Structure 1
Amino acid sequence: MSYTGSVLSVIGWFLLLVTVMGTKPSNCPWDDLSLVNWSEPSAWPTGHVPAENEAVTIAKGQSILLDTRDIPRLLSLTIEGTLVWGDVDDIRLETSFILVNGEFHIGSEECPFEKKAVIFLYGRSNSPEYSEEFGRKFIGVENGGKLEIHGKPKKSWTKLTGSVSPSTDSCGVVFDSWREKFGEEKEEGVHVIVWNPDGSVFDLGVFATKSGEQKDVDSFVRMMDGLMSETGKVVGIAVRGSLGKPQKSLEKLYLAIEKLGGRSIRQVKPKEPYTLVASIGHPATTREDHVTRYPDKDLLQASATLVLDTRHLVFIAVSGTVAHGYKHFTRFRVISRSLAYPLLTVLDDVTSWQPGDEIVVASTDFEWTQAEVKTIVQCPDCARNQIRVDGDILSSGEFRYSHFGHVTYGVDERAEIGLLTRNIRVEGEVQESCYSNSSREKYLCDRFGMDTFGGHIKVVRGGFARIEHTELYHLGQQASKGHYPLHFHMCDEVSGQYFRNNCIRNSFSRCITVHGTDNATVNLP
């Protein structure tokens, strides 16, 4: 073979290898050409796609591909044929129960589902019961049924390799309005602080726009107009109480905030928190937050944060209302990046963890309530075993509690860190107020401050289930016997079936129950 031929041969094999390695497996469930789209009216015996509050049955012999996000809330879903979750992002399926007599697939072992998917199970403990076996609000796998849920593989947990502790009261805090006279201002309307890039105060103002006085709006607009030439300075805006009734007099205020990069100021209603932080001359970096008011919420809080990487500083504006809208507060802070977003160094490679994912740092104290939940943030300079998380921006510390991260005299006392977020989520509806007449349920609801009747997943004899890399939230029914987040019930021999690498969080009963079942695999590597 010639030299040229050898080179071409090597290049050919290399390109083939890259193509194979960079392509998803061809045996993904949604690639089955025999599947008929859910969104096609002809797929359904009724001649129309399922409508809201409809009891849907996928009949034996039917093979349906869930190909659309446009799915109304269903009364129930019974699968006697085959249902395959399509390779579509952000599909949300809401139903009171899913009964699997046929096959239900979300991804496969060879081709995990990597987009976001949510199954939301709704209902109350006094809703109509489907059966004594499954009860209410469930995914049930009956004899002959097959359930396959395979989320995107991620590292489930790791350990700290160094301790973390709350900071001192002053460490990393450059400015805090609650330590200044400005923090005592009570006027309802718009509160503003302008900072220099180093965190020192350049200007500030309080504008009582709630009163409807045009002079306050005009003063605010003049201040904003004067800042347009101050490129690089940072402005923080927080609404205290009510901005004012939407009217023509606020139009100039809206335009001034929109010039800074604000997008939601026109939607702010009375007693709704709103904040914005912007770098003058850089509207693309503007951050804002607006929280809609709900009558049953005691505390509403909006917070906007802007990071200046060149200074390693974080600028924060907070607006809040408590006591159902009768008390209001604002707060402005400038703190160090390390305080706002503490760096954690861990034992393993956690590059599969992404910004927006939530983690829990376990307690290393005798008090289990010292476990803390954090959200991962962007960290372009992190090593493979490092992450940055959101600190407690309104307290003096990165963490509220200390978490030990060392091996002492051969005893491993390092805090575990578990990943809470998965791309597939099965969630049970929970009411915010008590409703049951049952004394047992009323006691539990009063104790926890919420309804404890979540959803559940149950596999019975003759059923087949493999569930992995899935987030299970608000599952389990505390006052209901035999209804747990994950449950193999009297299944006898189940070799090859498993619950593995899942996250069960905020559950209301035993997390996993294997009852009268042999050779089930349950693990968390």
Structure 2
Amino acid sequence: MQDIDARGGSPAFLRPQNGSSHKSSGYVPGRIAPLRPPPPLQSHAAAEFTSARQEARTRLPSLPVDQHRRQAEANRHKNTLICFAISSLSLFVALGMFLGIASKYAPDENCPDQNPRLKNWSPGKDPENKVIIKKGDLFRLNLDATVHSIVIQDGGLLVFGDDKEGSKNITLRTRFILIKDGGMLHVGAEKCRYKSKATIILYGKSNEGADVPEFGKKFIGVGPEGTLELHGHQKLSWTFLSKTIYFSGLANGHYTFKKNFSRGLNVRVIDQDTAEVLEVLKFDTHEFSEESLKLQNLLKNGSTGRIVAIAVGDSAAKNLLEETRVTIQNILGSKFVRGLSYRQAWALVGVIGGGNSSCNESVRNYENHSTGGKALAQKEFFTVDGQKFVVRAYSEWNDG
């Protein structure tokens, strides 16, 4: 134990309080052994809590070191796979975008106007310019032009420019175009149809200038080893047979009534879509009023649009009821049926529900055992396939 002298001098060694002057074996004179205060006393509750925590730690099972290592490696492997997948996806997306952009702007080898060797050619408008396109001349025409003439030969090439929108409408005016000896003129190609409008106008008079042997003055001529390619929008050629052609022009054939007419009204009902004769009827309205009622019901119940042809045989007026005459007038559009008289020749072609605009009719008066000619009615129609057909009806008295 030490004490500090009040005068600030060296520390004084004190004698032990128990009165013993015995020095321990480890005692070294001149050294001071510092005194440390004893640790603070823990309360009973704190001691119990600390003891419980230590006991809990001792009871927790510890994972083996190898298991920790394997779990860490698995996590690293999983993270590596995720990074690889994301990187691969990004690469494919970028590659797809690049290829899409590249394909959009890449020239189409099937289109002659996209040949990278072509040079844009603009001869302007010079009616005196006699153009010769020869070996090494690979021209693309993008603008309207007027020249005297064009000769393409010895491997020369002229191509009409085009674009995807079809907006390059080019007009070339010349007296003639001659393609020979390996020369080529292309407007589109079989695998790359020309989308714009190309117009070649051959101008000049027949008495101007000299003839080109074997071709004349105004022509587009292809000589030996010359090539002319013209490929626009595909259209049906007029020589293309798209349907069966029948002898009469109609699938059901033509129809002609060759026998003598029966007395009364001779009626034919015809399908307006196919020209097929649907019904062949006769109504003796000269002798029986019931026949007049049958005709009236036929017209009232007929399908709208059906074609009806009527012709008088002998006479049809005696028992042709007034209400039947009115029905014919209203449904078929007749103007003459209300005044039809004895042995008067009358013919009509009309459409059920068509009114007067769809009706054609004719009437002839009976005089001196004759009507002096035919009462002829006829009208043109078209089938659903566009085939034209004509329906004719006639009536006449001739020396009878």
Normalising by structure 2, we get a TM-score of: 0.34
Q: Which of the pair has the greater relative contact order for Cα pairs under 8 Å at 6+ separation?
A: 1
User: Highest Rg: 1 or 2?
Assistant: 2
Q: Structure 1 or 2: larger strand share?
A: 1
Q: Structure 1 or 2: larger helix share?
A: 2
